[in-house]
Structure 1
Amino acid sequence: MKRLLLLGLLLITSLAWAQKDAPGRWSRSKANSWYGDQPWLFGPNYVPANAINQLEMFQPETFDPATIDKELGWAEAIGVNTLRVFLHDLLWERDEKSFKTNLDTFLSICEKHNIRPMLVLFDSCWDPFPKMGKQLDPKPGVHNSGWLQSPGAEALADDGEHHRLESYVKGVVGAFRKDKRILAWDVWNEPDNPNTSSYGQHEPAGKADLVARLLPQVFQWARLARPIQPLTSAVWVAWENRDWSNPAAWKPIETIQLENSDFITFHHYADVASFQKMATALQQTGRPVVCTEFLARSVKSQFQTHLPVAKKLNVGMMNWGFVAGKTQTFLPWDSWEKPYASGRQPSVWHHEILTPDGKPYLADEVEVIRKVTGKK
């Protein structure tokens, strides 16, 4: 009787999932076929050490292929086969030709090192007032002090700006829609993040509602460009103890994300038991699952614990940070409230794998990475 009841519940769950595919979404079979063609995915969320944000990485004045080539050589040597890389709508607005050229150059460097990146179109984290040109210097002792939202607060709140955002999405996805050097498109990073500890007081009123209205359109704009690569957007409030296998437990934006994503992505900064619980719950969608942010050593999100479990589950893994640099994300999140004094280091690095000279922050972590990825 219990077995029949369990089978019935599983059938109900699968039927619920089957009824909630957004228009144009890949079928489960297509998504799983795509994922089956990939190696087990591992890599960092990447920005070169000499760039404080997405604009400094790609705008013509500061784009630095030599540094990217050097750092991706280090990445290849430890077993990295993918990256998560953030773009920005202002790069397209200012000069789409140079942006496409620099992005093409970046993709060629990735290809040289056998790395296929996931490209992120929009991001709701950190500074809501992005501007082109010279970027601010890092705030001393503060984690990720120069990272930028895309779109900024003004563009998000102004319906008149949405045509420009549509042009950006269709333009950049369309330009690279058949490019096999690209793994996937992440359409929006942490879309409902309120940035409470940093810029919360500067966010537009009703931000979550503004994003919830725009996010389905962004998925459709990307699909209208007809990319060969899949689309996704990661749910991220991993510390909340919820039943992720139950659609009734999802928040409105999470519902949009999970019903539009061709493959499922999530962020997780907590212990391995919590990670395994969330990953296996999301696998009940019947779609591939990739964790696109983890690694916060002080809260037990670590390579040694998480990578073996993820590999066994066939869940791809992307940690935050690669080479310690201008983003200063080796400092903890609470450095926004308690900045680190000049020259002072945290007792344990928060994110990042390598020091600025390319050496491992912790040698045993890199050995675990090499072992799990099969890199000799």
Structure 2
Amino acid sequence: MRTEDVHGFNYDGSWGTSGLDLWQHHDHGRMAVEVARGKEYFPGWNVARWWLSHEAHQRDPARFLANFEAGLSLFERHGILVVPVLFNRWRDPVCDFGGVPLDHIVPHHSAWTGVDDLFADPDAGDPVAAPVQALFHRYLVDVVGSHVDDPRIWAWDLCNEPLMGRYVEDDDSPVRRAELTWLTWCQRVCKGLGAVQPLTIGNFASVKALELTEPISDVLGFHPYFMANGSGHNENTLTKPAFEAFLDACEAVAQRSGKQLYASETVWGARDDAAHVEVMRYTLGQLAARRIGFTVHALGHSLVADLHQDAYGPVGSPEWLHFVEADGSLRAGHEAFNEFAPR
């Protein structure tokens, strides 16, 4: 499948507030209901970007892998391919999802039991010698290694929103260098395991991040959010002219690299249904005009950040991004998604 034919949603279950919570208390029955309902509302949904939790795998690998396998089979029954999100670097101050802390990947950033570096330079020797690196390696071997040619998986997303700070523009930043070293190691491990599916990275709205991760991406992933409520701090996202110029710049990166572009997250949130639909129509219209496929964030109500009404927990500046409410009803007007996702 070419990226221009990708029309789908990110998926997080409704029952948890974080990645670890969702996977430690995985509810396959509720997932089955939520995915079936989503397919009924949106028949053209053909790809799901499904967020995993390396932390849950660390605690109970067998259970995690069984639930992962069951979920892949569930999506397959509905004709939906999957983009598993292997790691996460987006850290939310209001309702944190969890993920990889800098302490685990930046050299000299930790003093855990006298071990200064939890993640070692992959060119320095044993690739799994450092403590965190060994855990990451086992996770990738178990998850990617057992599905290297699984036709249910469209692509592997190595990491959601790495390099998400001003340091992305600093060529001398040790944090940027360490994060890219870690991502490159992840890419090498997946390729070394024999993964035939494309590898991608879910970059936040930064042309620089897209350029930096291009060499280790088979498909260029980015998050084009037009932040109509002005809640962001990224100049690429706050006005329509700036947003469209950002899309043009990302297209230029893709054209220079000869790689396809994929919007792995898109459509900013709003408490007001009509305002959210307006943002959806504009954003997806811009992507469709450029033949850029997308997985909107996100399908349905969840207790994780930005996917629930205020009554269900903390709500940050993105407000409400979900399309399906907690009671299973579709938010008013949100069937408009189907205009951009033909069956």
TM-score class, shorter: 0.7 to 0.9
**How far apart, CA to CA, are the structure 2 residues paired with 1:273 and 1:195?**
22
In structure 2, what is the equivalent of residue 267 of structure 1? 223
Shift in CA distance, 355/51, structure 1 to aligned 2, threshold 3 Å: same
TM-superposed deviation, 1:64: 0.7
Q: CA RMSD in A?
A: 3.2
Measured in 1, the distance between the counterparts of 2:33 and 2:263 equals 26
CA contact (8 A) 1:355 1:361 kept: yes
Distance 1:195 1:315 in 2: 27
CA distance, structure 2, for counterparts of residue 343 and residue 147 of structure 1: 13
Quote the Cα distance in structure 1 between the aligned partners of 2:258 and 2:140: 28
Aligned counterparts of 1:320 and 1:341: Cα–Cα separation in 2: 20
Question: Are the structure 2 counterparts of residues 344 and 256 from structure 1 closer, same or farther at C-alpha, using a change threshold of 3 Å?
Answer: closer
**For residue 147 of structure 1, what is the aligned residue in structure 2?**
97
The question of 1:81 aligning with 2:46 is answered yes
Which residue of the partner structure matches residue 65 of structure 1? 28
The one of 300, 303, 318 aligned to 1:323: 300
Measured after TM superposition, the shift of residue 186 of structure 1 is: 0.6
Q: Is the partner of 2:144 in helix, strand or coil?
A: helix
CA distance in 2, matches of 1:210, 1:82: 31
Q: TM-score, normalised by structure 1?
A: 0.69
Which of 158, 165, 179 is the equivalent residue of 2:136?
165
Tell me the residue number matched to 1:108: 73
Q: Is the 8 A contact 1:191 1:208 kept in 2?
A: no
Tell me if structure 2 keeps the 8 A contact 1:282–1:289: no
Residue number in structure 2 paired with 1:227: 195
Unpaired stretches in structure 1, ≥5 consecutive residues: 1-33, 128-141, 197-204, 239-243, 245-249, 333-339
TM-score between both structures, scaled by the size of structure 2: 0.75
Rate the CA distance shift 1:343–1:124 in 2: closer, same or farther, 3 A: closer
Q: Distance in 2 between matches of 1:43 and 1:190?
A: 19
Which runs of at least 4 in structure 1 moved beyond 6 Å after TM superposition?
A: 340-348
Matches within 5 A, 1:98-247: 98-126=63-91, 143=94, 145-149=95-99, 151-157=100-106, 158-159=118-119, 160=130, 161-194=132-165, 206-238=174-206, 244=207
Answer whether contact 2:86 2:156 (CA < 8 A) is retained: yes
Q: Aligned pair in 2 of structure 1 residues 95, 362: CA closer, same or farther (>3 Å)?
A: same
- Which of 240, 260, 265 aligns to 1:288? It is 260
Query: CA separation in 2, counterparts of 1:181 and 1:331?
Result: 29
Unaligned runs of 5+ in 2: 107-117, 120-129, 168-172, 227-239
Q: Distance in 2 between matches of 1:282 and 1:362?
A: 37
Between the aligned partners of 2:88 and 2:317, the Cα distance in structure 1 is 30
- Three-state SS of the structure 2 residue aligned to 1:117 is strand
- What is the aligned length? 293
CA distance in 2, matches of 1:213, 1:343: 36
- Match of 1:359? 329
Aligned-residue offset at 1:347: 11
* Percentage of matched positions with identical amino acids: 20
